[in-house]
Amino acid sequence: MTRFRVEGKGRVEHAEPVNFTFDGRTYTGLRGDTVASALLANGVHLIGRSFKYHRPRGTVTAGSEEPNALISTSRGKGRYEPNTRATVQELREGLVAESQNRWPSLNFDIGAVNDKAYMLFSAGFYYKTFMWPKSFWNKVYEPIIRAAAGLGVSPGEEDPDRYSSRYLHTDILVIGAGPAGIAAAKSAAQSGARVTLVDENREIGGALLSDPRVKIDDIGAWDWLSAQLVELEELGVRLMMHTTAIGYYHQNMVGLCEKLTDHLDELPEGAPRERLWRVRAGQVVLAQGALEKPLVFDGNDRPGVMLAGSAQTYLNRYGVRVGDEAVVVTSHDSAWYGAFDLADAGTEITAIVDTRDTPRADLAREAERRGIRLFAGHTVTGTAGRLRVKSVRVNPVRDGRVGAAVTVRCDCLLMCGGWTPSLHLFSHTKGSLKWDESQNAYLPDHRSEACHIAGAGRGLWSFEAALNDGDVAGRAAAEAAGFEISDHARFAVAQDRPGTGVTHKELPTDRDAGKARAFIDFQNDVTAKDIRLAVREGMRSIEHVKRYTTNGMATDQGKMSNINGLMIAADALGEAPPRVGLTTFRPPYTPTTFGAFAGYHRGATFELTRRTTIDSWAEEHGAVFEPVAQWRRAWYFPKVGESMDAAVLRECTATRNSVGIFDASTLGKIEVAGPDAAEFMNRMYTNPWTKLAPGRTRYGLLLGEDGFIRDDGVIGRITDDLFHVTTTTGGAARVLNMMEDYLQTEWPDLTVWLTSMTEHWAVVALNGPNARKVLEPLVEGLDISHDAFPHMSVADCKVSGLPARLFRLSFTGELGFEINVPARHGPTLWKALMEAGAAHDICPYGTEAMHVLRAEKGYIIVGQDTDGTVTPEDAGLNWAIGKKKPDFVGKRSLARPDLVMPGRKQLVGLITENGAKLEEGAQIVLDPNQPKPMKMVGHVTSSYRSAALGHPIAMALIEGGRDLMGDIVHVPLPGVTHRARITDTNFYDPEGARLQV
Amino acid sequence: MLLIHCPYCEETLPEAEFAYAGEAHIDRPADPSALSDEEWRDYLFIRSNVKGPHFERWRHVHGCARFFNAVRDTVSDKFMTTYKAGDPRPDLTAEEAAQ
Ligand SMILES: [Zn+2]
């Protein structure tokens, strides 16, 4: 039995020890413990070092709002998590926990020098201390701050766990399974509604778990809870424990994160670690309770100083006394009850310090009965102790004056500054809050979603009030969801312990307030002094104060610090708190793993992968793949031991010398059909289409209305009223969307149908001087001789017995055909062509060779040689514009002043003098000796080695490039500046003779 | 995630089925060449960017594929109504009263 465990007390299994390690030392806790409760049972308060000042810190809460007790946890390779809240992490056998942000050890930490230099780190220190000289920022200050300040260390290995995600539809979602939530779920379910009840804890009960003496309808609190579990099940309520509502989104969509394995000793085979639920609820009941506030005084962050309500929770729920000698300091009645429970369990309550002059008489009597010394109308002004509090200074306050201190010995200091309704999720919905002067708290006001708030969230502090309020909220939700409701169940609670209190700014002190280390935000190390400094320096809005001081910006989002920060800022500004305002809470409510958000979207299922029907052939033949949009495409086909460069040069050479075969199935394909198809094409594309005869094709250029190139592709006219449009692989969906947009909304007068055919056709490209020799024997019903089927023709026929649409076109500069067959026939066609081509050493080539071959011809790739700011004129494609057409998409913009301005970047070729291959994206300058920063006149868009030319080639966008033909430009790269000559982009066979064979 | 009513499908469906398509009721000029540079600039780039009810286009892209119009309050991010492309701007008094 550990030193601070109370035999038989709490909801832990006293007969079931659980072993774990903390910083290498083995400890024993009990089943049902959290890491924090188990460490406290062993007398361990010191658990970490603070973010900025490296001050020793201990557990301060017993819940998910914990700012201090952050640990790293691990369970084998890859299963490491930093910044786990020890107050939430349930104990499991063999759990390995480590403290964070300390070096070399938790007890002795070098970084604690920051604490001595705290004046440097005051509010706005990021903006002020390190302003000069500017160049020091990246090299000196930033690394030092990063090294010195921080929380846990990021995981270094891939996470082996799975994370899942699901949707859920429910009539009523109740968030929080405390008394209000339980009552709401029950009364809602009694109406017949489908009800879901979620809670981040391992069991229902909320605050009742910390107060077993309460009797509900004459039944002890914990027996009552057991009965509720049965009733909830009988009512068909879906109960989800270990489940945190992390965000409340539009139209009652609530995100839930369910933790499935972190609490288990053994990982079930294949079980996901967490599950993200997207819940669409008809009505939502928020029953999230309230969070206790700390008091703000010098040394309120010393290990051993914690919230009084949390000490009560550790005692009653976990059977752990947080110390032997406790002092309680409070401004609220609730802390007195915790003190009495601890006293009854054997902890000596040395003193209760109440900031109020006249505590409630019944409480004072109870204290007196237990022999507890009472300091009413007192303040605390400091604590002492290096790694654990050992005493506290207590001073009387009379008429605002602080009298002489007495020092009271203690090993823990339990504080309570009142309670804050937990309205984070309500705040996510932009529901408005209203300041309640009597409670010194924000309470829910105007709702923007179909939600109901019950219990402590509405400022109701007794169990009886919470239960009855929950019942009302559940029935209201059921009624709003269209269900018939029953009568109000009235709960009667005995031994209830309601209370009231006051809210303070920082407590008054007899010492220099400017030197007080009185913390508001424990996680970000923000003190009361910082808030006042921010106001002095001109911050007026609470949003500015927040950002200047970082108050409330840590991972706990200021759950404990928000109202204290507001009270102090309001005081400093001389304004009432509601006039200063409240910062906005954002999802997620508590830190959530990236895994939960990513869900199934990782590894092979990160994004869907589209494969052509020929993909498996490529895979069997050793293709290396590259992603292109969502497709995976064969990049090149290396032979055993062959490098990429060698493979690509070989594929290019084979295609230019004999014949190459290429899977072009990913090309976007859209059928434009209907009596007005030609008119539609005239309006969409720059080119004229009226006179294009059926059976002929044309290069089509598509602009945005702004005049910049959006897409291109060869377009064939199949019949008078049917066009076969091809688009870039990545642009297919965009182009169809754009066409639909104009057709549906601008030109509804046109009778045209648009159909995506991308996945209906498999497309094989045959290119090279021997392409016809390979294809001709397989074609039926079509003469494909040069005269009968010239360049830029299209016809339907049969190829290898398959129904086919055959294009004669070329993206390589060689004699070329593109054979479209129904997608399912793709592999058959491919194999037939491979077989027929064997006599000509047919060579499969991938996208890289395709890029090289087209670049040798100066054919652009939209999105590589253009970037959304390139006009047809810039790209040298003015020939593709139908000059006589009155209008087409983008035409008017081509006359805009900026688009006709001289000096625009133009697409040109580049050849280096030293034969080096340039980097794509490299910047280009005219004078390499000019001072830095140099004037950059353009950049390299495409660059390849060229087998056909015997030297590398590049394309580049260069200001006024076409006027600089033959000039030398310079391409500075790390370590070397290349000289390159501006050339035409058509490097190979500029007359196009190879196409006409 | 918003729920959006498609006026063609007559169904209220998750936002994931829809794509936003910019401000509504901006007609492409019948004869762009007749416009001055300034007028064409305004057509291309100048948008109302309102705080409050915003007339905007959506497409039920993973459904019926139709473009339609909507009025969404940019402050609350709530849809006030949706209607078919080509229909006139709805009178918002009823919707505003409801809000
Ligand atoms: Zn629809």
8 Å CB contact between B94 and B80: no
Distance B11 CA to ligand 1 centre (A): 7
Spatial distance between the Cα atoms of A703 and B11, rounded to a whole number of angstroms? 35
Please give the single-letter amino acid code of residue A557.
Answer: Q
| pLDDT over 60 (residue A141) | no
DSSP string, A153-171: PPP-S-----EEEEEEEEE
CA-based nearest residue in chain B for residue A744:
B67
Model pLDDT for residues A277-292, shown as the tens digit of each residue: 999 999 999 999 999 9
Q: Are A668 and A612 in contact (CB under 8 A)?
A: no
Q: How far apart are the C-alpha atoms of A754 and A306, rounded to whole Å?
A: 68
Residue whose C-alpha is closest to residue A769's, from A646, A884, A634, A658: A658
CA distance A41 to A250: 44
Q: Hey, is A116 helix, strand or coil?
A: helix
Please answer yes or no on whether B21 and A741 come within 8 Å at the CB atom: yes
Strand residue runs (E) in A629-784: 631-636, 660-663, 668-673, 697-703, 709-719, 722-727, 753-756, 761-767, 779-780
Q: H or E segment at A254?
A: strand A253-259
Does pLDDT of A109 surpass 80?
no
pLDDT in tens, A372-403: 999 999 999 999 998 999 999 999 999 989 99
Q: What span, in angstroms and rounded, lies between the C-alpha atoms of A14 and A319?
A: 9
| CA distance to partner chain A, nearest, from residue B44 (Å) | 7
Residue B96 C-alpha, separation from nearest chain A C-alpha, in angstroms: 14
pLDDT of A102 reads 77
- The pLDDT assigned to A299 comes to 97
CA distance A314 to A303: 16
Q: Could you tell me which chain A residue has the CA closest to the CA of B33? A: A892
Interface ipTM:
0.97
- The answer to whether A474 and A183 are in contact (CB under 8 A) is yes
* In contact, A922 and A973? CB cutoff 8 Å: yes
Task: For residue A18, give every residue at least 6 positions away whose Cβ sits within 8 Å of its Cβ, in sequence order, or none.
Answer: A28, A29, A30, A31, A33, A38, A91, A92, A93, A265
pLDDT at A147 over 60: no
CB atoms within 10 A of CB A333: 21
**Mean of the pLDDT values across residues B4-25?**
97
Please give the backbone phi and psi of residue A842, each rounded to the nearest 5 degrees, phi first.
-55, 140
What confidence tier does A828 reach under pLDDT thresholds 50, 70, 90? very high
Whether residues B78 and A737 touch (CB distance < 8 A) is answered with: no
Cβ–Cβ below 8 Å for B66 and A430: no
> pLDDT grade, residue A247 (50/70/90)?
very high
pLDDT higher than 70, residue A119: no
Token pair recorded at residue A149: 């300040």
Proportion of chain A above pLDDT 90, given as a percent: 88
Give me the amino acid identity at A379: T
Chain B positions touching A247 (Cβ under 8 A) are none
Predicted confidence band of residue B97 (pLDDT cuts 50, 70, 90)? low
* pLDDT beyond 80 at A25: yes
Q: Average pLDDT, stretch A170-177?
A: 98
Interface list for chain A against chain B, based on CB atoms closer than 8 Å = 249-251, 253, 278, 430, 448, 705-706, 737, 740-742, 744-746, 748, 886-887, 891-893, 896-897
How many whole angstroms from B7 Cα to the centroid of ligand 1?
A: 7
> B-chain residues within 8 Å CB-CB of A740?
59, 65, 67
Is B40 in contact with A741 (Cβ distance < 8 A)?
A: no
- Residues B1, A740: C-beta atoms closer than 8 Å: no
Return the pLDDT at A221. 98
Of A249, A737, A897, the CB nearest to B1: A249
Answer yes or no: do A746 and B27 touch at CB < 8 A. Answer: yes
Q: Per-residue confidence at A153, pLDDT binned at 50, 70, 90?
A: confident
The model carries a pTM of 0.91
User: For A876-900, what is each residue's pLDDT tens digit?
Assistant: 999 999 999 999 999 999 999 999 9
Q: Quick one: average pLDDT of A654-662?
A: 98
A741, A745, A899: best mutation site toward chain B, by most B Cβ within 10 Å?
Answer: A745
How far is the CA of A48 from the CAs of A114, A150, A613, in angstroms?
Answer: 15, 11, 57
Nearest to A117 by CA among A197, A52, A31: A52
* Chain-chain contact of A887 with B33 (C-beta, under 8 angstroms): yes
- Tell me how far apart the alpha carbons of residues A892 and B44 are, in angstroms, rounded to a whole number: 10
Cβ distance of A745 and B67 shorter than 8 Å: yes
Residue in this structure with the two tokens 């490299």, named with its chain if needed: A922
- What's the longest Cα–Cα distance across chain B? 44
The mean pLDDT of A65-73, rounded to a whole number, is 95
The reported pLDDT for the residue numbered A150 is 63
Could you identify the residue written with the tokens 């982009």? A985
Contact of A308 with A414, CB cutoff 8 Å:
yes
**Two structure tokens written together for A57:** 């810190």
Q: Quick check: A830 pLDDT over 60?
A: yes
Instruction: Report residue A139's pLDDT band, with 50, 70 and 90 as the boundaries.
Output: low
Q: Which two tokens stand for residue A743?
A: 């057709």
| Residue-wise pLDDT tens digits, A661-704 | 999 999 999 999 999 999 999 999 999 999 999 999 999 999 99
Q: Least CB-CB distance to B37: which of A744, A887, A896?
A: A896
Between the CA of B60 and the centroid of ligand 1 the distance, in Å, is: 5
Does A142 have pLDDT greater than 90? Answer: no
Q: A-chain residues within 8 Å CB-CB of B85? A: 744-745, 748
* Mean pLDDT, chain A, whole residue set: 94
Residue-wise pLDDT for A748-764, tens only, equals 999 999 999 999 999 99
Note every long-range contact of A352-355, with CB atoms under 8 Å and residues 24 or more positions apart, other chains counting: A352/A327, A352/A328, A353/A327, A353/A328, A353/A329, A353/A378, A353/A379, A353/A380, A353/A392, A353/A394, A354/A329, A354/A330, A354/A378, A355/A295, A355/A329, A355/A330, A355/A331, A355/A379, A355/A397, A355/A502, A355/A504, A355/A507
Residue A277 is predicted with a pLDDT of: 98
